Structure 1
């Protein structure tokens, strides 16, 4: 079975993208329908909706463009499986933004315009992620620069190895 992992990734991406597209269309359509029935759009509320839901539409487009599997039209063979939608880092952050926007849309439809302020959590969360990433990278770089040999009193290895060495058991040979 050639390219089993690639075919599995393509199937997983296709299922995830189809589910996300239906969820996006359903949430936005129900939001607009509820707004038209119960609280008609004003100029500012329509502008707010367009402005704050645009990132979710752009992320949805990005996922479709980068992760939708492509097949050869004549043979039906898989050409490209697409990017992994379960990847860490930027992809994970984009999923967070997408789901947070969904939650804000539902709350605005149910509670009212004041729930748009919850959308401010996205830039705050992004700033927190950037800060923790920066400080983590800085600490790891500082650890690399100040690393000495194990003979100088620095403890290295796992906790299990340290316990074994403390008991006088099997000692690690450092070279």
Structure 2
């Protein structure tokens, strides 16, 4: 039996999945239609066509990932068993939506305006680079700086702690009386 927040998450996920499917359909059909009407020469087999068709594969894979992650699980009687992952959360899910939206914009805009619009795709490429740089230390370990093993770690200190440390170095009796053993 699910509680109210799980039901709310499931409803939001179902709505988001319907929006993803509708967006996939509209962006793909509009892109192909605009290419047929205005840029028929881009439909010939070329490197540009392969790149454009690869973006359809990217959007399909990302939409499948989001659909599988966010699909609520229901029993045979229709009772909610699991609401799925929250598709409104930040992090990887948010990046997937960003890549999906930018790809749709690039697909439709390149069909209408030209191939220069694909430069907008550098936005999710940068996001991918940032994501990789955030995840790679956990996957591969953080490389140590040369000579870092001999340097003791610097502990952050407040202004008050810094004053007490300086007084202690000067030999102030007030500080020595307060030191704990």
2:117 aligns with 115
Q: Which residue does the alignment assign to 2:162?
A: 153
Counterpart of 1:96 in structure 2 is 98
User: What is the RMSD of the two structures over their aligned residues, measured on CA atoms?
Assistant: 2.7
- Aligned partners of 1:37, 1:70: CA distance in 2, in Å? 42
Are the structure 2 counterparts of residues 47 and 14 from structure 1 closer, same or farther at C-alpha, using a change threshold of 3 Å? Answer: same
The 1:124–1:148 alpha-carbon spacing in structure 2 relative to 1, beyond 3 Å, is closer
- Cα distance between partner residues in 2 of 1:20 and 1:57: 10
- Tell me the residue number matched to 1:165: none
User: Where does the alignment leave 5 or more consecutive residues of structure 2 unmatched?
Assistant: 143-152, 164-181
Gap change, CA 1:2 and 1:68, over 3 Å in 2: closer
Deviation (angstroms), 1:67: 0.6
Relative contact order, CA 8 A, sep 6+: which one is greater?
Answer: 2
Which residue does the alignment assign to 2:5?
A: 5
The alpha-carbon deviation at position 106 of structure 1 amounts to 1.9
Instruction: State the shift of 1:112 in Å.
Output: 1.4
Q: Where in structure 1 do 4 or more consecutive aligned residues deviate above 6 Å?
A: 132-135
Structure 1 unpaired stretches of 5+: 139-144, 155-175
Partner of 1:25: 25
Q: What residue is the counterpart of 1:39 in the other structure? A: 39
Quick check: which has more Rg, 1 or 2? 2
Q: TM-score, normalised by structure 1?
A: 0.71
The 5 Å alignment of 1:62-73 reads 62-73=65-76
TM-score by length of 2: 0.69
The answer to whether the Cα contact below 8 Å between 2:38 and 2:111 also exists between their aligned partners in 1 is no
Number of residues paired by the alignment? Answer: 145
